[in-house]
Structure 1
Amino acid sequence: MNCFSKNVSNFHDDILLETQLGQLCGSKLLFRNRYEILRILGRGGFGVTFLAKNVTLPGEPVCVIKQLCPKVTNPKSWGRARERFEKEAKTLGELGTHSQVPMLLDYFEMNNEFYLVQEYVRGSTIARDVRRSGAKNEAAVKQFLRDILPVLQYIHKHRVIHRDIKPHNLLRCDDDGRLVLIDFGAVKEELVRTVQKSETRSASTNFVGTMGFAPPEQFSLRPVYASDIYAVGVTSLFLLTGKAPLEFDYDGDTGEICWQKHVEVSPHFAQVLSKMMKISLEERYKTAEEVMWDLGMESYLPTLSNCMTNQRFSPNSEGSIEEMREGYIAPVSRSAIAIREWRNKLKQHQSKVKRHFPQVSN
């Protein structure tokens, strides 16, 4: 008896009837002569995701099959959609070499629908973790950022924007505790955009993302790498508070989330989070590296503070280097002070020469 069949809810009954994989769900009939469909994992605007196992491999490993359903009405559109799907699937294949991105095992087209077969990560989403255990403290959220930002750096170097980072698309693996980023919106968006352009000869009006986690430029269909950074910032806010972004008030002038009064974090970390969630792209972090750098700098702040001096030095200060050693002075400043001291001594020497030898010409 299939241990997963009891998990199929009435909510998914229509999927069981409408899709081929749904009709195979819970039965011993195989999809493509190798995949036994166990249960439905989720349903979105672009398709359905199923849990399956490959019975032709030793150990019958479990995998995830994503069925993408573009609406195509003519052969030219279908050809372009297939080309786009293959290109984006290959990109996912490259990304899957990272331990925190599910590995792409197979991809194919059948009956005017596209399929992705990916590694199944056994674990729970951080959304479920917060519902079960409550909001996280500052240290835990900083660790989350240290886990996710290198993944962001990796996918952006491959010129991929995830477009749908949120608590439900981040899994904590049961086996080794690693954080895994799932459900890339890149393939879905590019596939739909290609079909829409072919069908209507106009730009796509389909938004890929989640309300509250996606920044304004993504709603304008102009996502950039910084769009993912915004989503990670909002996800961090969710971890700190347990609240979805739409539960907060928004600043009427800037459109930014009013979150500060709901969270107690260090001033430096508050600055980092604020910059991650800036509405203006000019003010937001541009890269994951910038966020990682600012987070890393926090541990040095006490040392830097101790090195700072409150003493002010005038550009025309007559003091010597020896008199200023009590406070920290940057190497460039030390050089400038030394030059000024040398010039003052030179002028004094020249004055003495003029007094004793007035006949000497300048």
Structure 2
Amino acid sequence: MPYCLNPSCQKPNNPEGCRFCMNCGKNLQLKGLYEAIALIGQGGMGRTFRAVDRGRLGQPCAIKQFLPQFREAQLMEKAIALFESEAAQLKALGSHPQIPELIAYFEEEGCLYLVQELIEGENLYNELQSQGIFSEAKIYQLLEEILPVLQFIHDRQVIHRDIKPDNIVRKKEKGKRKRTKSQSQIPNSPQNNLVLVDFGAAKAFTTDTAGRTGTLIGSAEYVAPEQARGKAVPQSDLYSLGVTCIHLLTGISPFDLYDDVSDRWIWREKLQAPISSHLANILDRLLARAIANRYRSANEVLQDLSSLVNLSSAIAPRSSDYPQHYTQTYVQIRQLQELLSLGQWQESDRLTNKIILELADKPKIAEITADDIDNIACDVWMAIDQAWMEFSNNHFGWSTQKQIWQSIGGKLIYNEDTYWEFANIYEKFSDRIGWRRPRWLNLGLSPKVWRKYENLIFAIASPRGHLPSLFFWEGFNLVDIVLYRLEICRQSREKL
């Protein structure tokens, strides 16, 4: 139903098909093309409407109507400049899938209007209120999706100057299949679905004779120190993004995450759940008060996100064939790397087991099938194996176990007819890597008995190939299947 844009109209809703407001007589179509249908937001600078573009076969769009609540000449001049700046910056940036497209900008009957792409979805501030604090996985996703947008605008000499949860919108996904409860906790997005909005504060890098890029613009909770002094630089957006992340991680106002007495951020002390030191260190550098101590560019942050032992190539999704985005798994793999780097072998073994169980959606390893193994992405198998190999200097890991398995005559494919051959090789394999021990000490011919899991040797001094163990410990029949899957993945990677 057409909605009248006359601010004084007492009955703005009109029947379908009306060209003029039945209450005040105003033309309901701007430029004969853009028709508002519902008010979706308003503030001190104006109103925003859901609308349709009749020139584009009724395609949805958004109309921003400039309607400031003040009349002081100086403030009005500045407000008009900001409104016009948004149109200019959107036009300069051109087309980007994560920035609203500018459709039109014009004046009509004494009012300024901006028509742009309608972004259907919820901003991250509202998402925080409705769903609670963000997980580490969601923060990784936020950084991985928004940093390229910042690099895009910075390359075009534009500073956003108002990065905050309210200005990052998660687009609704059209035609999306219903997800299970476990899947809904993981961002499902091979394609980016976070959009950076509200370029009203954006400004080009142009400076005046005093070297300023403009007066203080932005939201006080998120603004960088230099921007507060009227000297915004591209790194100011990175600072605000860091503040956005710690707000979403803690659910606490950034004002309460900085201690003025000690002059330092205390966000780590406010976390409800621990996060990896990898992410924490990245956020601390984004939040550095001195520009020289901050990242130089959004690309540099992206490089750091995947720099841990240079496993980015193993952790990045390569194929759209996999229906589930592995963001949570990548976080777990980073955690695995940290545990391994500290020599926490048993904790690493348990986490390896947990990752596979969650991806297979099974409560126990013994319930996992060959199909489950095949359905887990090669990137995951290779990332886990590479982490074990890297931090143990090739002493542990599935690749090491595969070498031992094949050295004693083990094959990578067995079937039901060759089960006893497999069982015989499995016992020899277990003896070689120390999962079985003699029943009596000092007797070479003593029968072997299986160690209990808690009695395995969780130290680098254990036999070669001793770890990871828990996965094969509970699902011994999967040894050849997993080693074969790893070989197939390796061959596929070499062909790329």
**Structure 1: gaps (5+ residues):** 6-15, 198-202, 308-362
2:102 pairs with one of 98, 101, 104: 104
Q: CA deviation at 1:216?
A: 1.9
Displacement of 1:284 in angstroms is 1.4
* Shift of residue 206, structure 1, vs aligned partner: 5.7
Q: What's the TM-score, normalizing by structure 1?
A: 0.66
* 1:258 matched residue in structure 2: 266
Q: Which residue of 1 aligns with 2:290?
A: 280
| Aligned equivalents of 1:35, 1:97: Cα separation in 2 | 20
- Residue aligning to 1:51: 50
- The residue number in structure 2 matching 1:34 is 33
Superposition deviation, residue 96 in structure 1? 4.4
CA change 1:82–1:144 in 2 (3 A) is closer
Quick one: structure 1 residues 138 and 183, their matched pair in 2 at CA, closer, same or farther if it must change by over 3 Å?
A: same
Take 2:155 and 2:257, find their aligned partners in 1: how far apart are those partners? 33
1:235 corresponds to which residue?
244
Q: Classify 1:274/1:73 alpha carbon distance in 2 versus 1 (closer, same or farther; 3 Å).
A: closer
Equivalent residues in 2 for 1:289-304 (5 A)? 289-298=299-308, 300=310
Q: 1:120 aligns to what?
A: 118
Is residue 226–residue 284 contact of structure 1 (8 Å, CA) maintained in 2?
Answer: yes
Separation (CA, whole Å) in 2 of partners of 1:83 and 1:251: 34
Partners of 2:61 and 2:117 within 8 A in 1:
yes
Question: Is the 1:234–1:277 contact (alpha carbons within 8 Å) kept by the matching residues of 2?
Answer: yes
Q: Does 1:19 align with 2:7?
A: yes
Matches within 5 A, 1:55-94: 55-58=54-57, 60-68=58-66, 89-94=87-92
8 Å contact kept, 1:160–1:186: no
In the alignment, is the contact (CA less than 8 A) between 1:215 and 1:231 conserved in 2?
yes
Deviation at 1:85, TM superposition (A): 7.0
Question: How far apart, CA to CA, are the structure 1 residues paired with 2:289 and 2:246?
Answer: 15
Deviations 1:64-108 (A, max 9, x none): 11233586969xx98x99999777634312424110001111111
* Code of the aligned partner of 1:282: A
1:135 is displaced (CA, Å) by 1.2
Secondary structure in structure 1 of the residue aligned to 2:51: strand
Correspondent of 1:208 among 202, 217, 225: 217
Distance 1:261 1:113 in 2: 49
1:242 offset after TM fit, Å?
A: 1.9
Partner SS, residue 159 of structure 2? coil
Q: 1:179 aligns with which of 194, 198, 211?
A: 194
1:293–1:34 CA distance, 2 compared to 1 (3 A): same
| 2:83 equivalent to 1:95 | no
- After superposition, the CA RMSD in angstroms is 3.7
Q: CA offset at residue 128 of structure 1?
A: 1.7
Deviation at 1:287, TM superposition (A): 0.9
Deviation at 1:129, TM superposition (A): 1.6
Structure 1 residues 82 and 122, CA gap change in structure 2 (3 angstroms) = closer
Give structure 2 stretches of 5+ with no counterpart. Answer: 21-27, 175-188, 311-336, 342-386, 394-496
Q: Deviations over 1:116-151 (max 9, x none)?
A: 110001111122222111112212211111011111
C-alpha distance in structure 2 between counterparts of 1:96 and 1:24, whole Å: 37
What is the one-letter code of the residue matched to 1:212? E
Indicate the residue corresponding to 2:146 in structure 1: 148
Write the distance in 2 (CA, Å) between the matches of 1:205 and 1:23.
Answer: 39
Structure possessing the higher relative contact order (Cα contacts under 8 Å, 6 or more residues apart): 1
1-structure distance, mates of 2:295, 2:391:
24
Give the 3 Å change call, closer, same or farther, for CA 63–276 of structure 1 in structure 2: same
SS in 2 for 1:185: coil
Q: CA deviation at 1:240?
A: 1.2
Paired residue type of 2:222: F
* Shift in alpha-carbon separation, 1:204–1:269, aligned structure 2, 3 A: closer
